[in-house]
Amino acid sequence: MRMKGISQAIAQAISQEMERRSDIVVLGEDVTYWGAVFGFTMGLFDKFGRKRVVDTPITEQTFMGMAVGMASVGLHPVVSLMFVDFLGAGFDQMYNHMAKNHYMSGGQFPMPVTVITAIGGGYGDAEQHSQVLYGLFAHVPGFKVVVPSNAYDAKGLTIRALRDPNPVVIFGHKLLTGLPFLPYEGGEDEVPEEPYELEFGKASVRMEGSDLTVASAGLMVHRAMRVAEKLRKEGISVEVVDLRTLVPLDEETLSRSVKKTGRLLILDEDYMSYGMTGEVTFRVQSRALRDLKAPIQRLAVPDVPIPFSEPLEKEVIPGEARIEAKIREMVS
């Protein structure tokens, strides 16, 4: 079926796994009538009822702790963290318990938890509702980090997460949800009705090219592809690699692409310092340094809070004009 946006795909994936298994329970803020606001749990309450789809107070530490307890006794909780910006309120339960209990218990307690959260700016929601922050989770051992860019990937990666015995965090960009009250920058995808899995750690080459590689995830993949399509008409051939998962990271596909093109631009909506761009740069240069024709470059959010003001927001989040200018600079 044709599907617009990642929200419907994620909700369908959860629904199909809940039909198949009785151990999956959904909890979090407004997961019932509002579908976690960004639609990731829409329709689940009507179908499965209050015993399996549970609204919680705005108490991130409490419901993250509940998820740790549920996972310890054989359930698979799906936790909605409405905005990633508020992960700090559940930090201790996530970083010190959810991510580590399997290791600390010598393997006695698997920790099958799927956390789904909304990320990103682009519509003036200001500094406490517009961050990306997946680099924080990628930094801590124990989490897998999933960043889908389209509906097909969103469904396959969500089902994979729901079958994983370890904690997985899925970061869904708001401008890719496909909801009518939000701007939309994605497309429409053909999504199989039946359940399917996509393997973690497998990047996708969205567009083949020979002059330069752009590596990115989530919303930025779409901006890179639009720029690449424009430049192709001028004879500049850009290869776009969609990372799909930051942990595990597909170093093989990345380095193979860079060995072909000789140039790499890493495009990110997370903060610049100590983030994904720096990590990918190191890993690629360790595998393909001698194949580089130019230094690796990166575009990311400078180390400032996301502004409410629309012109300032556009200034800090990489847009197509800045991406195009950077690519032209690198291939000139």
Write out the two tokens for 2: 């044709």
Which of 113, 150, 117, 144 shows the shortest CA–CA distance to 132?
117
- pLDDT tens by residue, the chain, 332 residues: 899 999 999 999 999 999 999 999 999 999 998 888 899 999 999 999 999 999 999 999 999 999 999 999 999 999 999 999 998 899 899 999 999 999 999 999 899 999 999 999 998 888 899 999 999 999 999 999 999 999 999 999 999 999 999 999 999 999 999 999 999 999 999 999 999 999 999 999 999 999 999 999 999 999 999 999 999 999 999 999 999 999 999 999 999 999 999 999 999 999 999 999 999 999 999 999 999 999 999 999 999 999 999 999 999 999 999 999 999 999 99
Q: In what order do the strands lie in the sheet with 168-173?
A: 53-55, 24-28, 76-83, 114-119, 168-173, 144-146, 245-247
pLDDT for the residue 66: 97
pLDDT for the residue 126: 87
Task: Kindly report the number of other CB atoms within 10 A of residue 128's CB atom.
Answer: 12
Domains of the chain and CATH, by start: 1-188 (3.40.50.970), 202-329 (3.40.50.920)
Write out the two tokens for 14: 């959860």
Which of 290, 241, 245, 230 shows the shortest CA–CA distance to 267?
241
DSSP 3-state assignment of 43?
A: coil
Pairwise CA distance, residues 332 & 330, whole Å: 6
pLDDT for the residue 124: 87
Q: Are the C-beta atoms of residues 106 and 130 closer than 8 Å to each other? A: no
Q: Are the C-beta atoms of residues 148 and 170 closer than 8 Å to each other? A: yes
Catalytic residue selected from 97, 129, 173, 222: 129
**In the chain, how many H helices and how many E strands?**
12, 14
Is 97 catalytic? The answer is no
pLDDT for the residue 36: 84
Q: Are the C-beta atoms of residues 219 and 301 closer than 8 Å to each other? A: no
Task: Kindly report the number of other CB atoms within 10 A of residue 19's CB atom.
Answer: 12
pLDDT for the residue 298: 97
Write out the two tokens for 72: 């310890």
